[in-house]
Structure formats: structure tokens, C-alpha cells
Amino acid sequence: MNRFLAKLRHVFLPFLFISVTIVFTYTLLHWLVYIKFELFELDDLWQNFIIPGAVAVIVAYVFVPPIIKKLDFTARKKKSGDPVNGMMIIVIFAILASLYIALNYFETATGKLTTLEHISAINKQPLTKYYKLNELYLDKQAVRVHSAFKTSGKYDQHFDMTIYCSVPIQNAKIADTVADRSVDRLLSSLNNKDNLNLKKALLIVNGREASKEEISRIPRDRIASMETIDIQRSTLMYGENGKYGVIHFEVITGSDNQGRSLIIEQPDAWLAVSYKKTISNDLSPQEKEKAYNEFAEATQTEFETADHSMFTYLEKVPKSDDLDNYRTAITQTDTTLSADDAILLKPVYEPFEDRVGSSFGWIFGSFAIGAFIFFIIIQFFPLRKNHQRKLNSKKFRWLWLNDVKTILWPRQGYAVTPILILLNVSIFFVMVIAGLGFISFSSTDLLNWGADYRPAVMEGDYWRLFTAMFLHGGVMHLFLNMYGLMFIGIMLEPVIGSKRFASAYLISSLAGSAASLWWHPATVGVGASGAIFGMYGVYLALLTTNMYTSAQRKTLLTNMVVFIGINLLIGIRGSVDNAAHIGGLVAGIIAGYVTYPFIKDNIYISKKEKELLHEPEENAV
């Protein structure tokens, strides 16, 4: 039993800690960089697979092998080689499986759903991941098509065929009678030398068939010429479609910002529809061509009969090979259209609430499978003798718990910070258990639980100024605030004492809530960030006094100002309550100067903080 517990503590739990840290940290950074602040966008393959996979593998190979090598593989190596590589494969499987699922889950779950009255409003606001359209018209007659082919499979045994269809999304359909009247008026000026039936003749725009509705959308000043083609020639050129003759429109109009001519107004967005089929790559070129023609014919029938407007919501196609192919379809069918910045929206027919499915559970399930296999394997190997002797010493036995205990366990001189962390986390999980959410909570639920809201406070709910500091908008909001609280709490609470720390925290929180109410007339506000900025304000004030040496002041003051400045700049981007941050910060600075006279003669600085303060200045960041 002792050997089992020793391997559990010193092999399995460290592996667990490192693996969870990799998944959690990278997922958080990915969410902040690519989703929350949208600092830049990479191809979907690189952003969601190659880069996270490479980072996870590198970090795992740095930190996990030293843990595995605490086991003695001497006997096993003689029989079947070094088992370390096999165990690393299991570790990497567990990490990558949960990481990929977590990235997909958070990107999907946190994507914003924007409701638009018409598609023309899409460029009047920041782009989001999901859209709902109240009114639209899909101009299926103006569909752009592109076919793409590639081989797949370990031995390239599959031949994949994909037909990409980009359909213009218009605000509304022009009624057939309106389109007819518009085109009839246009054709009345035509010299009908071939005596064609103008209402039944085939309409061609710059060599491409077009409907009356499409022509009715072309600005009249962009039509350079119109001419008729007699029935005999049009039948030879266009077959059955040209039996009533052809009217050819030459449309040469202006250019876009890249110098390319435009035929018709560029749609604000396109519907992205694709059809896929896989056949054997062993077929001859003739057999592949036949299979493609049959696939294309079936696709055309399916496209024409399907009602693509019956979707529940639309999802923006990310930067990827699929996006490139949809944009190629736009320019391949009609080279006069610009597609570099074209917005492609993919229809989704399931309810919006079902978009994540069971992926959240699989984040833990996939990791649990790999972790369980790892746990079983380590039971077959003993610990190395030199490591076993080290474990037998009492000093080493519980060393791995010391850091966790130091941060989360209340003690004299450091009691308020861990209590506040545990209280905030507990309230969050009570809301989760109540079924209110996890990634985020609705404003209505937050309001019911005591969020800050000026109209409610003005009607007498003054208690909201206090309760709002213990509520958070979601798991990321909670994590960032608790990390900031833990960091400042470790540095500040032992210095000023628990009672003064609690008083300053409460005052800063109330000041932040009041500032938020003053600045926002009708916004639901939650979070401990006002109070946390207040504690940074207290520390900032103390750093300007003679409590610290000149060298200590310079190093810590620079770090603190940079930290506060970065957080305030992030708040300028929106969705962050900078009013609460500034209100709490100002209150904290005042509280710091008020506190200083009471602690300057009886200052308590922990041994760990002394070591931190006496580090060389070049270690400052």
C-alpha cells in the first residue's frame, strides 16, 4: 500500500498536475488571443491543430520524462526496450485529445450570436461567429460554383471530390413583376433588329447567363451595350436555352480598390454550401470523370430542390482551405467579382443551444481514458531506489502540497485572501449546480443573484453594491480575477495585516461599484475586479513611501504600473468595466496612504517576500 501511495503521489499526481496545467493554460491563452481580443487570425488548421499540438508536445517532453524516470525500468528494458517512449505516447494522447476538444468547445460555446434585420447590416458592426437573419433572400440563380479534388488516406487510396457553392445573400427578393417591368423598360430602348421575343429571350451578361432579377440589380450607368443574337446563331451557341434568341449585355463598370472591374453590386455576404463525395483513387481517369459528372448532376438537382433558407442560424466560415475554395468559386465563375474580403456564412439547422453537444464532458472523458491507462502502467514498475530513499524522509514526504497549502489555506497574517478566493469560487459553482451556465451566465440570472444595476439600486437595492463583488460572468472572468487576487494577496496581506486588507478590499469594491453605476446608466455589473484593482492601488501607494528601499521601489513600482496600465488598456477595447477598475484603483490608493502611518513602525514582511524584494533589478519585467 505504501508503494502504491508513493507512486500515486510522486508520479501520477505530478503527471496529472502538469497535463491539466498544459490544457488549461493553452486553452485560456487561445481564448484570450484568438477569441476574446481577436489579436490576429491564422488558418484554422494552424490555429486549432498544428500550433497547439506542437506546444503541448514540446512542453510535455520537457516536464513529463523527469517524472516518469522516477520509476525503475531496468528489468523491462532488457526484455522489450525502453518503455518511456511508449508512456510518453499515452501522455501526449491524453493531453492532445482533451486540448483539441477544449479549444473547439470554448470557441463554439463563447461565440456570439448576432441578430440582424437584413444582411446589409453585417458590415456596420464587428464580425461575430454566429448570425441570425430576420429577413433574407438567397439569389440561387446567381450561385458561384467551384470543384476541388484531393487524395486522402494513408496510402492516398481515396479520391475526394467537393463542390463548393457560394450563394449571394440579398436583403429581399425583387418581385418577379417588378424585375420584369424593370428589364422590359430597359429592353424597350434596344434595337431589336432580329425581331426576337424579348420576354422569352435568353439573357447573357458578359458571357454568363443571368436572370431578370439579377439584371434589374445592375446600375443602369454600368451597362455599356446591349445587342441581340438571332435564333439560328443562339441555338447553335446555347442549345435549347437559346431557342428564343439571345440578348447580350456588355457591362463594364468602375473597379474595386484593387483595380478589378465589377459587373454587379458585391453582396454583403454569401451562403456557403458544399457537397462531398469520395471514390477510390484506383479508378482510371475516365472512370473518375464519369463519377464526377454523375456527382455534379446529382448535386445540381439537390441544390435546386433544397430550401437553403430554412436554417436556424449561420456560422461564419473561419480562415481555412474551405474559405479559400468558397472565395475561388466567387471569382472563378465571374472573374469581375472581388472575393478577398468576402464573408461566407455556413447554414446550421440544429438549435443554437445544441451547438456544443456533449463536447464539454469529453474534455474530461478523453483525458480520463489516457490518465487511467497511464495509472495502470505505472503500477508495473517500482520506484528507483535512490528516489525511494528520498521519499522516506519526513521532510520530503508532503513537500508537493506545501505550495498549494501556502496559497489556499488561511493562516495568521494571510487569512482574508484564501477565504475570498474560496468564497468566490464556491458561489460560482453554486450557480453552475443551479443550472445557470458555466462558460457564461445570462444578465437576467446575474441580476436575480445580486448584480449591480443602477435602476435597481436607485429603487433601494443598495445591497447590490456589496453582493456584486462575489458574482462573475463566467469561468474565464472568475479565473482571471482570482489569479489577480491571489497574486496581490500574497504580496500585500502579510504587509498590512488581514483586518486592514479586508477593510481596503471592501472599500475598494464599494467604490468600484459606485463608479460603475455612475458611468453606466443601465448595465448589469459583476465581478471582484474593482476590489482587486483597489488592492493594487494600496500596494502602489505603499511603494511610493519610504517603506521600501530605493532599489526595491524602482523594481516593484515599475512592474505594478505596467501591470495596471496593461489591464486598463485591455478594458478600453470594450466588454470590460473600466469605470469599476478606476473607481477601485483610486479608492485603493487613498486607502494605502491612510494605512501607511499605522504600519510603518510595525511592518511585517514574510521571509519569502524579503527574498523577492532583494532579487537583482535586472530580473524585473
Torsion of Cα atoms, 193 then 194 then 197 then 202, to 10°: -110
Active-site annotation holds for 529? yes
In this structure, which amino acid lies at residue 333? Answer: T
Catalytic residue among 274, 366, 516, 529: 529
Cα separation of 24 and 59, whole Å?
13
What spatial distance separates the first Cα and last Cα of the chain, rounded to whole Å? 47
Catalytic residue among 274, 581, 606, 614: 581
Distance from chain centroid for Cα 61: 27
Nearest to 309 by CA among 121, 117, 144, 136: 136
Cα separation of 570 and 581, whole Å?
11
Is residue 530 within 8 A of residue 581, CB to CB? The reply is: yes
Written as nine digits, the cell of 404 is: 498549494
DSSP state of 258: T
Cα separation of 20 and 59, whole Å?
12
Neighbour-count burial of 146, counting CB atoms closer than 10 A to its CB (0-12 exposed, 13-18 middle, 19+ buried): buried
In this structure, which amino acid lies at residue 424? Answer: N
Cα separation of 442 and 435, whole Å?
11
φ and ψ of 344, to 5 deg: -105, 130
Distance from chain centroid for Cα 32: 8
Cα separation of 36 and 52, whole Å?
17
Half-sphere exposure for 300 (CA within 13 Å, toward CB): 10
Cα separation of 10 and 8, whole Å?
6
Helix axes 416-433, 399-408, angle to 10 degrees: 90
φ and ψ of 249, to 5 deg: -105, 130
Active-site annotation holds for 581? yes
Which helix (H) or strand (E) segment holds residue 344: the answer is strand 344-348
Catalytically active residues are 529, 581
